[in-house]
Structure 1
């Protein structure tokens, strides 16, 4: 997945597996899938979908803590260089494991 070009992949996951803050019962789905997409493309879409969902919470936190520039991440995703780099790229913040 590290070698995929996000501009080329163009498969997306609209992520509301457990509802959302906007409305309960919202659903998830993949969009833009074509015959050349592989499991890796879908996995990349899942990772990006989860991170963009997280961004809705991070944006609210940035209002309260505007000078924060580092995200301290724990749990399973913190063990993955791919997750951490994607989170840093999408959020524009440095990521660290405590």
Structure 2
């Protein structure tokens, strides 16, 4: 399973726009229900965002196929003060946060 954590900070005047675009991604995920993708997006108190993505080998690349995700990604550079930085992630511990 591929696991990644992405962090970035939007311009203060673009935070709500970014939230709406993320919400659209989750609407499309709920509508299409890909079983091989797990996705979490958080907004931190300082206005930055963190996305956590878990994809099985079969599910790798599914997010970019979503129309809402493509809309979210277009213009991300213009919305950000700090550009997205992606890192591979390894789960060290999990208590009821991730499905079994």
Return the TM-score normalized by structure 1: 0.26
RCO (CA 8 Å, sep 6+): is it higher in 1 or 2? 2
Return the structure number with greater helix share: 1
Return the TM-score normalized by structure 2: 0.26
Q: Pick the structure with greater CA Rg.
A: 1
